[in-house]
Amino acid sequence: MGRSLDVFGALAAFLAEAPAAALVTVIATRGSTPRETGTRLVVRPDGGFRGTIGGGRFEFEALAEAAAAAAEGKDRFFLHRFALGPELGQCCGGVMTIAVDVFSRARLDEVERLAALERAGGFVAVAETATADGGLVRRVVAGAADRADAVLGGDGRLTESFGTRSREIVLFGAGHVGRALMLVVAMLPGFRLTWVDNRPGQLPRTLPATVTAVETADPASVLARASDGAFVFIMTHDHALDLAILHAALDARRFGHVGLIGSATKRARFASRLKAAGLEPGLAESFACPIGAPGIRSKEPAAIAVAVAAEVLARDEALISMQDNIAARAAS
């Protein structure tokens, strides 16, 4: 599922500097392939680009083709089917079809309108080749798409979803591990981080765009504003504060994951205290501690951050898969 690229924002930025730019979209796959449908590249005429459709020789060839098309400076739409093994010598051996859609600067208003819809939560559009010069015309048919996808129908129409779904991570604590985790999470597509600390001056003034800093005397109160399904990680400088935040997070019963930094001994003590405070046993035990993907024994802050990021990705994908299965059963 592609969800990392701000497609029309990137197109608008490129069109401000170049007479045209190309959107490359994976619209069909068969067999073993490096990426799925809906993954995208935005390409400048000089070969500069944003996004990825899988890397390697396949992406190299697609980039070159899209850059050459954009260099013509005209609206254009075409498909290219790649057999990865026979054509490109890639061992995965599958088949991928890409759509290349060139936007001239004359369409900047359209691009900016779609960029605003994408930023507002995404949209679904049906597109078809309808202009005299072969350009693609999109008709928005729904809003609030939660993922990126693209499917070419038998009628020749392309149904596209441009989604900006992201999962919130609420991180309590700006110590060494908290700072390292912030830097790693900020690089992950599809996540936004709310970073909380109660100590004045601990949170940096300059942060990545996906990170929001909250300095407050009552950190647990931030949970009331957190989104349903958010992941919560607790690693403050104070165990009593850790316990108060953990109690509030579990009692809310609406977060996708709650993790507490520490050892198995800390977990046992906190679970016991939560039960004594009135949480039923199942709920009091429903948090992760220690945190992070298993198999990494280093206690260096950067290593812990990488392990936690791996856990975040695995849990996020598992939840998305479960939600997709539920939706599929409901629709059948």
- State how far the Cα of 60 lies from the Cα of 109, in Å rounded to an integer: 30
Contact by Cβ (8 Å): 16, 63: no
Largest CA distance in the chain: 73
**Domain match, 223 and 105 both:** no
Q: What is the pLDDT of residue 330?
A: 60
Q: What is the pLDDT of residue 324?
A: 61
Say if 155 falls within a structural domain: no
Contact by Cβ (8 Å): 22, 48: no
Cα torsion angle, 319, 320, 322, 326, sign: positive
Q: What is the pLDDT of residue 322?
A: 77
**Domain match, 176 and 299 both:** yes
Q: pLDDT tens for the chain, 332 residues: list them.
A: 334 578 999 999 999 999 999 999 999 888 888 788 889 999 999 999 998 898 788 899 999 999 999 999 999 999 998 887 655 555 566 888 999 999 999 999 999 999 998 888 788 899 876 555 667 888 898 876 656 788 888 787 889 888 766 789 999 999 999 999 999 999 887 899 999 999 999 999 899 888 999 999 999 999 999 999 999 999 999 999 999 999 999 999 999 999 999 999 999 999 999 999 999 999 999 999 999 999 998 999 999 999 999 999 999 988 877 766 665 566 55
Contact by Cβ (8 Å): 58, 93: no
- State how far the Cα of 12 lies from the Cα of 112, in Å rounded to an integer: 6
Q: How many domains does the chain have?
A: 2
**Domain match, 203 and 264 both:** yes
Q: What is the pLDDT of residue 2?
A: 38
Q: What is the pLDDT of residue 121?
A: 77
Q: What is the pLDDT of residue 89?
A: 54
- CATH number, residue 266: 3.40.50.720
**Domain match, 175 and 308 both:** yes
DSSP 247: H
Q: What is the pLDDT of residue 32?
A: 81
Q: What is the pLDDT of residue 144?
A: 66
Residue-range definition of the domain harbouring residue 16: 7-117
In our burial notation (b when 16+ CB lie closer than 10 A, e otherwise), range 25-54 reads: bbbbbeeebbbebbbbbbbbbeeebbbbbb
pTM value? 0.71
Q: What angle do CA 159, 161, 163 make, to 5 degrees?
A: 180
Contact by Cβ (8 Å): 274, 250: yes
